[in-house]
Amino acid sequence: MPDQGSTQVNAATANALAAMQETRRQRIRLAIRAAGMLPVLLLLCGGFHYFSDGRFFTAQNLGIVVQQAAVNTVLAAGMTFVILTGGIDLSVGSILAASAMAGLIISKFPDLGALWLPASVLTGAAFGILNGGLIALLRLPPFIVTLGSLTAVRGVARLLGADTTVFNASIPYAFIGNGSLTLVPGVLSIPWLWVIALLVILVSWLVLRRTVLGVHIYAVGGNESAARLAGIKVWAVLIFVYGVSGLLAGLGGAMQAARLYAANGLQLGQSYELDAITAVILGGTSFVGGIGSIWGTLVGALIIAVLSNGLILTGVSDVWQYVIKGLVIIGAVALDRYRLQGSART
């Protein structure tokens, strides 16, 4: 009898131990997931530094890298919100162009000039909310709606400048496009574009992880019917995420306009949506929604920028850059899947 009792106790502790081990395993898996593509990023940086005879890790080059990464990081942050709900936003490149055009046109009015920046951002937000409204209220598929606005908003961008390039050499706040924030004079300065991008990432993280709305976004992506039954206003969440994606595309447009002092409705932001989606996917966010993090997106956007920069530094021809970039993206995600499977199997 006492023997049987002790067996039971052993079994109970074994079960508890198993549960604990299960959590620890889950934690490790989460950590691997969070670290995600960071090792790939570091490997790329190291590799390019070696093959470019030490020209990668220089203050000047790193400044160029983050400046190139900035706009895509901002777009990808908005895209992360959308993809977390299980949607997609194909229209960000077009919205970016239309917002930049709107901003530049406003900047040329002598009295309104200083308002170009908010005008640009709000133009983006308006298009985003329109996307969200069609998706949430008419229940149309996000892919179709944003595929439509990809084309339609591109047309609007061309209309805005009467299909010409709009210049403004004295655009207010031009410093955000080309200036740097000096942290330690003569030693360390960060391009304003990158400061904005990092702020966007930080605010996105706060919203996603520290607010009620953030939990609701993950909930809608994880199980939309359950979210509806739990009293979450799914339509409001959807309008919000597409609104954010549009707003950040507008901000991206402003950043581009300030950098170039010009915008062209036809060329600006062409196929930017693909880079943004790529950054989100490289960052480990699940395409069906509900799983992912904004830090992953940051790493993903950096990988894309490092790849472009590094291939130029190492003197790879323009044609081969496309091939290599595409292969690295497929390879990185394949590696990620393989690694996650491996951790699930142990």
Partner 1 sequence: MNDPILEMRRVSKSFFSIKALRDVDLTVYPGEIHALMGENGAGKSTLMKILSGAYRPDPGGEIRIEGKPVHINGPLGGRAAGISIIYQELSLAPNLSVAQNIYLGREVSRLGMLAREAMEAGVGPILERLGADFAPSTPVGNLSMGQRQLVEIARALHARSKILIMDEPTTALSAGESERLFGLIRQLRAEGLAIIYISHRMDEVYALGDRVTVLRDGTMVGSLDKPEIRADTIVRLMVGRDVSSFYKKEHDPTARHGAPVLAAVDIADDRRVRGCSLTVHSGEVVGLAGLVGAGRTELAHLIIGAAPKTAGHVEIEGRNVEIRNPGEALEAGIAYLTEDRKALGLFLDMSCLDNINLAVLGRDARLGGILDRDKARDRAKKAFAALGIRAADAGVTVGGLSGGNQQKVLLSRLLAISPKILILDEPTRGVDVGAKSEIYSIIDNLAKSGTAVLVISSDLPEIIGICDRVIVMRAGHIAGEIKRTGASPLNQEDIMALATGTEQLDA
What is the smallest separation between the CB atom of 344 and partner 1, expressed in angstroms? 12
What is the smallest separation between the CB atom of 339 and partner 1, expressed in angstroms? 19
Spatial contact of 72 and 276, defined as CB atoms under 8 Å apart:
yes
Among 124, 142, 290, 310, interactor with partner 1 by CB under 8 A: 290
Spatial contact of 146 and 90, defined as CB atoms under 8 Å apart:
yes
Report CA torsion sign: 269, 74, 287, 277: positive
Gap between the Cα atoms of 143 and 296, Å rounded: 23
What is the smallest separation between the CB atom of 21 and partner 1, expressed in angstroms? 6
Binding mask 184-213 for partner 1 (x = CB under 8 A): --------------------------xxxx
Among 183, 187, 229, 344, interactor with partner 1 by CB under 8 A: 229
Gap between the Cα atoms of 17 and 21, Å rounded: 6
Gap between the Cα atoms of 72 and 273, Å rounded: 9
Binding flag, residue 215, partner 1 (CB under 8 A) = yes
Among 179, 233, 339, 343, interactor with partner 1 by CB under 8 A: 233
The single residue listed with the structure tokens 């990668």 is 56
What is the smallest separation between the CB atom of 74 and partner 1, expressed in angstroms? 23
Binding flag, residue 28, partner 1 (CB under 8 A) = no
Among 100, 134, 171, 232, interactor with partner 1 by CB under 8 A: 232
Looking at the Cβ atoms of 234 and 328, the one nearer to partner 1 is 234
Spatial contact of 80 and 135, defined as CB atoms under 8 Å apart:
no
Binding flag, residue 219, partner 1 (CB under 8 A) = yes
Give the H or E element holding residue 167: strand 165-167
Binding flag, residue 11, partner 1 (CB under 8 A) = yes
Looking at the Cβ atoms of 8 and 267, the one nearer to partner 1 is 8
Gap between the Cα atoms of 72 and 278, Å rounded: 10
Gap between the Cα atoms of 90 and 142, Å rounded: 9
Of residues 57-76, those binding partner 1 (CB under 8 A):
none
**Residue 19, amino acid:** A
What is the smallest separation between the CB atom of 338 and partner 1, expressed in angstroms? 19
Spatial contact of 211 and 87, defined as CB atoms under 8 Å apart:
no
Phi, psi (deg, nearest 5) at residue 263: -150, 145
Among 81, 205, 218, 295, interactor with partner 1 by CB under 8 A: 218
Binding flag, residue 20, partner 1 (CB under 8 A) = yes
Length of the chain: 346
Structure tokens given for 247 = 């707003």
Q: Is 180 helix (H, G, I), strand (E, B) or coil?
A: strand
Gap between the Cα atoms of 315 and 324, Å rounded: 13
Binding flag, residue 26, partner 1 (CB under 8 A) = yes
Looking at the Cβ atoms of 13 and 267, the one nearer to partner 1 is 13
Looking at the Cβ atoms of 225 and 271, the one nearer to partner 1 is 225
Binding flag, residue 341, partner 1 (CB under 8 A) = no
- Contact residues for partner 1, defined by CB under 8 A: 7-8, 11-12, 14-15, 17-23, 26, 210-216, 218-219, 222-223, 225-233, 290-291
